[in-house]
């Protein structure tokens, strides 16, 4: 700023803002000519500069941007310095507010604010203040499934596991902050809590095929339960493969594989016999194993029971926690397409099982019809069997 030459009713004035403001700050105008009061001294400016969050004796939350505002005037200069140097900001068109571009401040940081303004008569005002942010010792740990970069089927749920229980208010705060998109478009769906430390998102329908799924939440600066804070913003992305849905007709003993709505293959299968009836409902492939040792004892069958078995199977894909799989069953080829003779699994020829294994991925949907035994919501990824109205009741928000 330059000193102005005195004229009638005015006097020379030189800015007393530090040189850093004048040289490196947001210099919006030169100094105007200053009106004198009755005693011949420079008049007091009506411009009042304020800073938000307001400087306080105690450190403040970093959850809001730093804003410098002026009442009854316009800003002429703003410089805010923090732990990494000068904080960038944007001035409003009317010159009355300056807002930092970083929407959340850093933790354990000190910000020095230097600002200048003039009122409508050109009388200058200056302000200097310091804002300190909190230094948390605990942060909320969030683990997300599927893992970042994974490619999964369109039935794969999105889950967040937390390292601590959250209060009802904290659960609602976290849930409201979460945003889920598919290729940048918001997904119609709902979060549902299972306990106080795990929340799962389910689209109303399945995910779209071949899409980038992103979950994001600006939790840095948010305080949760037990004195824990959000350490950084959440941004997590995975992808879906083609929209693969496989249909198993228990009564007709057939399996039909579809991709992106088109039927690709149908082949004969066998499912659970009397006493071991296969569940009807929507299931999701939980895991894939090229070979797996199956032991009926894990399901509670006594080794002395005639129904006991222990054998190695090929091309196994798990569908339930209780032990339903898709797998090769060469010993039952004669019954496949004709009768149900398994202990609940869906068996097929080795050739067909190898093809299905190759063309399926974790998260693909398998829909079973034709039996009166219903799939439970807790049994594997059974969330698709929960009516939509009931699912949304699990939301904290």
Domain ranges for the chain: 10-132, 142-241, 244-382
Distance CA 370, CA 103 (A): 55
Distance CA 102, CA 67 (A): 11
Active site residue 327: yes
Residue 273's pLDDT is 95
Helix (H) or strand (E) holding 125: strand 124-132
Residue 27's pLDDT is 45
**Which among 122, 214, 124, 223 is positioned nearest to 167, based on CA atoms?**
223
| CATH fold label, 10-132 | Immunoglobulin-like (2.60.40)
pTM of the model: 0.82
| CATH fold label, 142-241 | Immunoglobulin-like (2.60.40)
Residue 103's pLDDT is 83
Catalytic choice (31, 236, 253, 345): 345
Q: Which CATH class is domain 244-382?
A: mainly beta
Catalytic choice (236, 253, 327, 343): 327
Distance CA 153, CA 343 (A): 26
Weakly modelled stretches of the chain, pLDDT under 50: 1-32
Residue 295's pLDDT is 75
Residue 320's pLDDT is 97
Residue 63's pLDDT is 87
Average pLDDT of the chain to the nearest whole number: 89
Identical fold between 142-241 and 244-382? no
Active site residue 31: no
């Amino acid at each position: 700023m330059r000193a102005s030459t005195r004229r009638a009713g005015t006097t020379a004035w030189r800015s007393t803002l530090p040189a850093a403001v004048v040289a490196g700050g947001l210099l919006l105008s030169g100094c105007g000519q200053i009106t004198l009061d009755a005693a011949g001294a420079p008049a007091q400016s009506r411009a009042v500069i304020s800073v938000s969050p307001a400087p306080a004796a105690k450190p403040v939350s970093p959850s809001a941007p730093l804003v410098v505002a002026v009442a009854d005037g316009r800003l002429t200069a703003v410089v805010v310095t923090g732990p990494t140097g000068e904080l960038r900001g944007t001035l409003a068109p009317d010159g009355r507010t300056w807002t930092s571009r970083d929407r959340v401040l850093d933790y354990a940081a000190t910000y020095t604010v230097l600002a200048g303004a003039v009122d409508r008569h050109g009388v200058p005002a200056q302000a200097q203040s310091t804002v300190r942010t909190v230094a948390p010792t605990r942060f909320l740990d969030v683990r997300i499934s599927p893992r970042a970069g994974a490619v999964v089927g369109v039935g794969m749920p999105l889950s967040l596991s937390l390292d601590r229980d959250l209060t009802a208010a904290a659960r609602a705060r976290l849930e409201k902050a979460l945003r889920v998109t598919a290729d940048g478009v918001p997904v119609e769906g709902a979060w549902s809590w299972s306990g106080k430390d795990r929340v799962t998102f389910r689209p109303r329908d399945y995910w779209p095929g071949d899409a980038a799924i992103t979950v994001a939440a600006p939790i840095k600066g948010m305080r949760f339960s037990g004195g824990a804070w959000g350490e950084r913003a959440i941004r997590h992305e995975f992808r879906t493969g083609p929209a693969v849905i496989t249909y198993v007709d228990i009564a007709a003993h057939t399996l039909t594989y579809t991709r992106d709505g088109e039927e690709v293959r149908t082949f004969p299968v066998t499912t659970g016999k009397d006493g071991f009836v296969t569940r009807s409902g929507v299931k999701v492939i939980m895991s894939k194993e090229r070979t797996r040792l199956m032991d009926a004892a894990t399901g509670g069958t006594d080794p002395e029971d005639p129904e006991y078995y222990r054998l190695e199977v090929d091309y196994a894909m798990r569908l339930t926690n209780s032990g339903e799989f898709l797998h090769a069953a060469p010993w039952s080829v004669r019954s496949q397409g004709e009768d149900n003779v398994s202990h609940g699994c869906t068996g097929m020829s080795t050739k067909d099982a190898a093809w299905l294994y190759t063309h399926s991925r974790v998260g693909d949907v398998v829909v079973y019809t034709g039996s009166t035994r219903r799939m439970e919501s807790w049994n594997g990824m059974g969330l698709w069997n929960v009516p939509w109205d009931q699912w949304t009741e699990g939301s904290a928000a």
